[in-house]
Amino acid sequence: MNDDNSTFYFLIFSWPLRYGGLYHLFYQYNPKGSIWGNIVWAHSVSKDLVNWTLLDPAIFPSQRSDINGCWSGSATLLHGNKPVILYTGIDPMNHQVQNLAQPKNLSDPFLKEWVKTPKNPLMAPTSANMINSSSFRDPTTAWLGKDGHWRVLVGSKRRTRGMALLYRSKDFVNWVQAKHPLHSILGSGMWECPDFFPVLNSGQLGVDTSVNSDDVSHVLKVSLDDKKHDYYMIGSYNASKDAFVPDEGLNSEFVLRYDYGKYYASKTFFDDGKRRRVLLGWVNESSSQADDIKKGWSGIHAIPRAIWLHKSGKQLVQWPVVEIEKLRANTVNLAPRVLKGGQLLQINGVTATQADVEISFQVSNLRKAEVLDYLTDPQILCSKKGSAVKSGLGPFGLLVFASEGLQEYTSVFFRIFRYQNKNLVLLCSDQSRSSLNKDNDLTNYGTFVELDPLHEKISLRTLIDRSVVESFGGEGRACITARVYPTLAINDKAKIYAFNNGTADVKITRLSAWSMKKAQIN
């Protein structure tokens, strides 16, 4: 779990890799301050994705092709289990170009030293290719085609059209730009940190990035610079045309998101040891820049998540990696009970500022659901109908980082609507009362959860860690990450409650909670 007293200073974006029995995490890092600048590639390793050891920076400006900055990129395992890194450098003209680095010693499982090829840059904007030199960054993990050529994507835009430019190479050094991008969308703006990977159509196992068969679908994820959120599409990869084909109805715009809160610049990797695909993302701040400078750090990585395709084929599912459960302590289990309208139930026996809470609800009278006349943006709906606004079924959920007297609290809750003769479940994360410090971002977040409350449990798992609230609704079908800085609900002054502020009773069918030990960051 995160420790607010860490010395990470400023960090953003991550590029994971598994090599030599270790998980390697590379990330943009400012060793000189808590705001963006002086960026190098920091490097940490772990045996379990939970406890981390910090190493010296892996990459820092040293060549003409990156003298003004080493920005984001990705790692790829070549033939013979040889890791390489493609990354964006900023050259003397402040053009964004793509560079290659390789380990100095492959027998070193820590991969402490990296050597840049003298042939850098390998991909660059020119007058011939007409690539926007200020919008050409973040190469992906490469995949190997059946023709023996590697393919890699680089995020870009042309005017307002966002795109994933495609490059091919036989030796990973000499790259040729494809005639057409893998995919592009008019009006979407710059595509940062693209990611392209296969997911099995059935089951929770992951597959290698180069797999392409009838058993998989493909996911194209981008971080939209204009919106500062991560979006994805599900579709298929036409290898003969090197084109991504979104599933029907998803061709014109990005709709689906990994996370509907503070979560950006994410990256997946295939964990061959446990045959799963793991997602890591960056959680930015809700505090002001002045407060970031005062506390001496900003930006963290979210808890790693396993990710797979939902059985419907329409969305991805995310769940904290199972290793995080090693931090659980002081188990609290409450027997099933009815939570009456207006009732608060304090969850005692756990450390409220570092906890893992799983709760499930059942509703018996769906006829009491509030009628929704027209469909609206769920975030706007959560802002208008926060946890203090009563309705028939909801809000019900959790109050975390709650102070004595509830002057401060962060609420994560469900609300059920009736829309066009169907039940609609809304998940909200309400930061509006999270802090008396009004310089903080107190935005409300929300999304609809694809579940049927008549036949399915309404489940919520919330991981609470000092200033972070990561919530997983509907068994991982909807995720919301919040960043909160209370002034009263801190340390032993913080409390956790289950609550129901609706007029109808709801039943808690399961409630389990754990204190969470600190992860080791050395």
User: pLDDT digits over 20-72, tens only?
Assistant: 999 999 999 888 888 887 888 999 999 999 999 999 999 999 999 999 999 99
C-alpha to C-alpha distance for 16 and 74, rounded to whole angstroms: 8
C-alpha to C-alpha distance for 143 and 257, rounded to whole angstroms: 23
Q: Is residue 68 part of a domain?
A: yes
pLDDT confidence band for 291 (50 / 70 / 90): confident
Please name the residue that has the structure tokens 């446990």. Answer: 274
Q: Which of 160, 161, 126, 120 is nearest to 139 (CA)?
A: 120
Phi and psi at 260, nearest 5°, equal: -100, 15
Of 273, 300, 320, the position where a domain reaches its end is 320
Find the angle CA(435)-CA(378)-CA(401) to the nearest 5 degrees.
Answer: 25
Calculate the CA 205 to chain-centre distance. Answer: 19
Phi and psi at 254, nearest 5°, equal: -85, 130
Q: Which of 321, 319, 301 is nearest to 26 (CA)?
A: 301
* Tokens at 423, concatenated: 């039940």
pLDDT at 13: 63
If asked whether residues 337 and 361 sit together in one domain, one would say yes
If asked whether residues 173 and 257 sit together in one domain, one would say yes
If asked whether residues 304 and 362 sit together in one domain, one would say no
Of 253, 286, 320, the position where a domain reaches its end is 320
If asked whether residues 17 and 166 sit together in one domain, one would say yes
C-alpha to C-alpha distance for 308 and 321, rounded to whole angstroms: 12
Residue 49 CA neighbour count, 13 Å, CB half: 23
Kindly tell me if the per-residue pLDDT of 325 is higher than 60: yes
If asked whether residues 166 and 270 sit together in one domain, one would say yes
User: pLDDT digits over 474-497, tens only?
Assistant: 999 999 999 999 999 999 999 999
Maximum Cα–Cα distance across the chain: 69
**CATH number assigned to the domain comprising residue 485:** 2.60.120.560
User: pLDDT digits over 90-137, tens only?
Assistant: 999 999 999 999 999 999 999 999 999 999 999 999 999 999 999 999
What would the DSSP string read from start to end of 288-349? -HHHHHHHT-B-EEPPPEEEEE-TTSSSEEEEE-GGGGGGEEEEEEE--EEE-TTEEEE--S
pLDDT at 297: 80
Of 278, 300, 320, the position where a domain reaches its end is 320
In the DSSP assignment, the letter for residue 519 is P
C-alpha to C-alpha distance for 321 and 48, rounded to whole angstroms: 9
**CATH number assigned to the domain comprising residue 97:** 2.115.10.20
User: pLDDT digits over 447-472, tens only?
Assistant: 999 999 999 999 999 999 999 999 99
pLDDT confidence band for 281 (50 / 70 / 90): very high
The letter for the amino acid at 151 is: R
pLDDT confidence band for 246 (50 / 70 / 90): very high
pLDDT at 3: 35
C-alpha to C-alpha distance for 25 and 17, rounded to whole angstroms: 7
If asked whether residues 89 and 227 sit together in one domain, one would say yes
In the DSSP assignment, the letter for residue 123 is B
If asked whether residues 370 and 401 sit together in one domain, one would say yes
pLDDT at 10: 53
pLDDT at 466: 93
If asked whether residues 336 and 310 sit together in one domain, one would say no
Kindly tell me if the per-residue pLDDT of 88 is higher than 70: yes
pLDDT at 39: 84
Q: Which of 46, 512, 497 is nearest to 269 (CA)?
A: 46
Q: Is residue 521 part of a domain?
A: no
How many structural domains compose the chain?
2
| Cβ neighbours around 213 below 10 Å, total | 9
Q: Which of 355, 398, 348, 385 is nearest to 498 (CA)?
A: 398
Q: Is residue 129 part of a domain?
A: yes
Stretch 281-310: mean pLDDT: 90
108 is catalytic: no
Stretch 399-413: mean pLDDT: 98
Which residues of 20-123 form beta strands (DSSP E)? Answer: 22-30, 40-46, 53-59, 70-78, 82-90, 96-103, 114-116
Q: What is the length of the chain? A: 522
Q: 146 is in which domain, residue-wise? A: 4-320
pLDDT at 8: 38
Q: Is residue 75 part of a domain?
A: yes
Rounded to the nearest 5 percent, the helix, strand and coil shares of the chain are 5, 50, 45
Q: What is the pairing mode between strands 82-90 and 96-103? A: antiparallel
C-alpha to C-alpha distance for 27 and 40, rounded to whole angstroms: 8
Q: Is residue 522 part of a domain?
A: no
Q: Is residue 420 part of a domain?
A: yes
Phi and psi at 162, nearest 5°, equal: -80, 150
If asked whether residues 260 and 350 sit together in one domain, one would say no
If asked whether residues 37 and 185 sit together in one domain, one would say yes
Q: How far is CA 383 from CA 48, 154, 211, 386, 447, in A?
A: 38, 36, 42, 6, 11
From the candidates 3, 208, 247, 441, give the one annotated as an active-site residue: 3
User: pLDDT digits over 492-507, tens only?
Assistant: 999 999 999 999 999 9
Kindly tell me if the per-residue pLDDT of 12 is higher than 90: no
If asked whether residues 299 and 354 sit together in one domain, one would say no
Find the angle CA(32)-CA(37)-CA(40) to the nearest 5 degrees.
Answer: 75
Q: Mean of the per-residue pLDDT values for the chain?
A: 94
Stretch 6-23: mean pLDDT: 71
If asked whether residues 341 and 314 sit together in one domain, one would say no
